[in-house]
């Protein structure tokens, strides 16, 4: 817990010359404004400004002045920069000139939803599992889709050529305050995963964006490109961001009940029911790209069907085996392209809607859904996730809860931008069409 004076002292004593004031746009893309050390006191007094009209989804040009409000607890020095003339960062909230939180700031939106949960007595904890690919770059330094290894799940060197890259990523993250729980090669060639310890939702959302920055930076130092694109290569697994989540109340895990047959409380069951009720309208947030839906197809371990289970990994929601304080649900559909502030907001409000309305969850599906026939799925009431981005956007546009979650301003901007993204994709002529039709027709 840093104070203003703590940071000023560290900047001076540690020879910090530049501070990057970071924030995100509505797509969760990290942005920053760099200041010199001489401006740190001004920044901590919330007097640094930016032109919001230049940021996607922020504001109109006639009302472009925005203020950066740094969160002192996010101060950290970048380990990979020179140790003389160091570079540090502060994550910021965006405020309007009248001193009110800006409605288009994703971090403000998550803080608002967490405050609503706190009024009900809940603390929201989240642990994400981010997968990513490492690819070679070409002679101009641009990323390719040529993987750097032929390893598979849990393989090790010399087959896993990414082992040293992951090690450097983990060491860097630990220097920045992360607690790394696991690091390993994933199923697909060139695919990797690093898991860090769960935290309260706001810190987790900050950590997700910091993780992406570190992964890309360290990969670049090794001459590689780290991508969090959901499905960069046809025919192999895509990258997910399984999102483990739990609610705590009065210092205890609200999802745990030792008297229940599988150790889940009524709160947990209703939370699951809320997620399942709203998942179609959340999909444009959890899986925000045209490319996201190339991952959500049968046969590649990604969930396609809306179901839950405590015993297998094919449904949308899985209940990991740990109980007691570690009781949690794992939402398996999100991918790492999601805006983490929007994603965690949507998960929380959907789950709380289930709790408030005491929704009843359907029976768990304990056999492999991918091997069930359509008739069997229909009989069990198992529905599909949206098949593509535009279906997800249309479901989101019908959702009063998602509009309330993001606020009308960000909701309208986001759905409009995603509709335009789909139209841009839909009207393009793709290489597959050239290969299939140019000669034959």
Indicate which residues carry an active-site annotation.
51, 129, 131, 186, 193, 242, 313, 330, 332
Distances (CA, A) of 137 to 191, 219, 238: 16, 11, 20
In DSSP terms, 317 is beta-bridged to 308, 331
Residue 25 phi/psi, 5° resolution?
-90, -175
The string of DSSP codes covering 220-279 is: HHTTEEEE--S--STTS----EEEEEEEEETTEETTB-TTSTTSB-HHHHHHHHHHHHHH
CA-to-CA distance for 117 and 248, rounded, in angstroms? 10
Report, in angstroms and rounded to the nearest whole number, the Rg of the chain calculated over CA atoms: 22
Label residues 372-404 b or e (16+ Cβ within 10 Å = b): beeeebeebebeebbebbbbbbbbbbebebbbe
CA-to-CA distance for 65 and 52, rounded, in angstroms? 6
CA nearest neighbour of 243 among 216, 271, 217: 271
Label residues 164-203 b or e (16+ Cβ within 10 Å = b): ebbebbbebbeebebeeeebbbbebbbbbbbbbebbebbb
Residue identified by tokens 């706190």 is 118
CB atoms within 10 A of CB 326: 15
Residue 244 phi/psi, 5° resolution?
-80, 130
| Torsional sign, CA 22, 24, 29, 32 | negative
Q: Tokens for 172, please give them.
A: 């860097």
| Strand residues in 25-175 grouped as ranges (E) | 30-36, 48-51, 65-70, 76-77, 86-95, 122-137, 143-147
In DSSP terms, 33 is beta-bridged to 21
């Amino acid at each position: 817990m840093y104070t203003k004076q703590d940071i000023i002292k560290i900047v001076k004593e540690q020879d910090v010359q530049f501070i990057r004031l970071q924030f995100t746009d509505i797509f969760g893309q990290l942005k920053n404004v760099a200041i010199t050390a001489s401006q740190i006191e001004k920044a901590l007094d919330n007097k640094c400004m930016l032109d919001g009209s230049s940021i996607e989804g922020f504001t109109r040009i006639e009302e472009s002045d925005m203020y950066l409000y740094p969160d002192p607890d996010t101060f950290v020095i970048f380990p990979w920069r020179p140790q003389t003339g160091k570079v540090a960062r502060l994550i910021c909230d965006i405020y309007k000139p009248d001193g009110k939180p800006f409605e288009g700031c994703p971090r403000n939106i998550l803080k608002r939803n967490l405050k609503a949960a706190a009024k009900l007595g809940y603390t929201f904890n989240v642990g994400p599992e981010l997968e990513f690919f490492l690819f070679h770059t070409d002679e101009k330094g641009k990323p390719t889709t040529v993987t750097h290894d032929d390893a598979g799940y849990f393989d090790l060197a010399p087959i896993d050529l990414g082992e040293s890259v992951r090690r450097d990523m983990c060491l860097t993250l630990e220097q920045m305050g992360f607690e790394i729980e696991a690091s390993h090669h994933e199923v697909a060639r060139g695919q990797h995963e690093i898991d860090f310890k769960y935290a309260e939702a706001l810190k987790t959302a900050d950590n997700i964006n910091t993780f992406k920055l570190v992964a890309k930076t360290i990969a670049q130092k090794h001459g590689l490109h780290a991508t969090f694109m959901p499905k960069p290569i046809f025919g192999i697994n895509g990258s997910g961001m399984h999102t483990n989540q739990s609610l705590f109340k009065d210092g205890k895990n609200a999802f745990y009940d030792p008297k229940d047959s599988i150790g889940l409380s009524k709160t947990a069951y209703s939370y699951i029911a809320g997620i399942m009720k709203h998942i179609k309208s959340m999909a444009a947030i959890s899986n925000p790209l045209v490319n996201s839906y190339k991952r959500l197809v049968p046969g590649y371990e990604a969930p396609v069907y809306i179901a839950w289970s405590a015993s297998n990994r094919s449904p949308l929601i899985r209940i990991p085996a740990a109980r007691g304080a570690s009781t949690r649900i794992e939402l398996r559909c999100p991918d790492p392209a999601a805006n983490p502030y929007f994603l965690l907001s949507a998960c929380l409000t959907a789950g709380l809607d289930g709790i408030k309305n005491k929704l009843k969850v359907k029976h768990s599906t304990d056999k492999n859904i991918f091997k069930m026939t359509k008739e069997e799925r229909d009989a069990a009431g198992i529905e599909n996730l949206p098949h593509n981005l535009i279906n997800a956007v249309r479901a989101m546009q019908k959702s009063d809860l998602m509009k309330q979650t993001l606020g009308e301003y960000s909701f309208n901007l986001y759905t409009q931008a995603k509709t335009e993204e789909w139209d841009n994709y839909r009207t393009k002529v793709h290489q597959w069409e050239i290969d299939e039709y140019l000669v034959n027709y």
